[in-house]
Amino acid sequence: QSGHVRPQPPRSCEDYWGEWKHCRGLLHAFHHYYAHGELPDCGRWREDYEACRAWERDRAAAAQVPPRSPPCLPAAKYAPVWKLRKSPPPDWYLPLDHDKSN
27-66: pLDDT as tens digits: 999 998 989 999 888 988 898 888 888 888 876 554 455 6
Is 98 part of a structural domain of the chain? Answer: no
Is 69 part of a structural domain of the chain? Answer: no
Domain that holds residue 42: 13-63
6 neighbors 55 (Cβ within 8 angstroms): yes
- The predicted pLDDT at position 26 comes to 92
Q: Categorize the per-residue pLDDT at 21 as very low, low, confident or very high, splitting at 50, 70 and 90.
A: very high
Is 33 part of a structural domain of the chain? Answer: yes
What percentage of the chain carries pLDDT values higher than 90? Answer: 10
* Total count of domains within the chain: 1
Distance of CA 63 to the CA centre of its chain: 20
Burial of 29 (0-12, 13-18, 19+ CB in 10 A): middle
63 neighbors 51 (Cβ within 8 angstroms): yes
Which range in 11-15, 20-24, 74-78, 84-88 is most confidently predicted, on average pLDDT? Answer: 20-24
Is 82 part of a structural domain of the chain? Answer: no
Is 74 part of a structural domain of the chain? Answer: no
